[in-house]
Amino acid sequence: MARPKSEDKQKAILNAAIQEIAEHGVSAPTARIAKIAGVGEGSLFTYFSNKDELLNQLYLYIKEELRESMMSDYPKTESVQNRIRHAWNTYVKWGVANPQKRIVLAKLGMSNKVSEQTKTQGSEAFADIFNMISESTANGLLRNYPTSFLSAIMGSLADTTMNFIAGNPAQTEYFNNAGFEAFWSAIVNA
């Protein structure tokens, strides 16, 4: 009966926010984000009730994209090592291909503008990987650490790996392999 909201504009705002926040931090002004998105500043507030809401939505938007990247061809039937390797590879590949999104995720995570609830919601998407690790710990294949600890180790070593690839793209293969080797040795039961 009236003018409908446009999904395109919502995404334009989110993508503009990624650009601006990657470069200038979470304090990037809404005026600038709107300008880059090609909408009026007022419109930003018809799609997001306030800036905090935008930041929380942005966090979930990026996490969801990452999830799709990692899960689209997830090899459910292969060995645990192969599945973990697949998760590692797709994560690193995504991070290298999307440096801004990776930075924004990190900045948002540290910003105390993103609520705990949002963060929890963001990790739920990765339940498959979480469960796989959990089962492998029970098997005795992996060290008997809490699953959340093993996941966090994966995250931090993958992040470190991506940082080195970002600083030296010619060595992408080398650092990806070295990183995984270190990670696997760290978690596998000796």
Partner DNA sequence: TATAAATGAGCGAGTACTCGCTCTATAGCA
Partner DNA sequence: TGCTATAGAGCGAGTACTCGCTCATTTATA
Residues that bind a second copy (CB under 8 A): 24-27, 106-107, 110-112, 143, 145-146, 148-149, 152-153, 155-157, 159-160, 163-164, 175, 178, 181-183, 185-188, 190
4 lines the binding site for DNA (CB under 7 A) = yes
What does the buried/exposed string (b/e) look like for 123-157 if buried means 16 or more CB atoms within 10 Å of the residue's CB? eebbeebeebbbebbeeebbeeeebeebbeebeeb
Q: How far is the CB of 108 from DNA (least distance, A)?
A: 14
* 89: Cβ contacts below 8 Å, ≥ 6 apart: 176, 180
HSE value, Cβ hemisphere, 13 Å, CA-based, for 149: 8
102 lines the binding site for DNA (CB under 7 A) = no
**Which listed residue (39, 70, 108, 158) binds DNA by CB under 7 A?**
39
HSE value, Cβ hemisphere, 13 Å, CA-based, for 22: 14
31 lines the binding site for DNA (CB under 7 A) = yes
Q: Which does 164 bind (CB under 5 to 8 A by kind): a second copy, DNA, none?
A: a second copy
CA atoms of 21 and 113, how far apart (whole Å): 13
Q: How many chain residues interact with DNA (CB under 7 A)?
A: 24
Q: Which does 19 bind (CB under 5 to 8 A by kind): DNA, a second copy, none?
A: none
Residues in contact with DNA by CB under 7 A are 1-6, 9, 27-32, 39-43, 45-47, 50-52
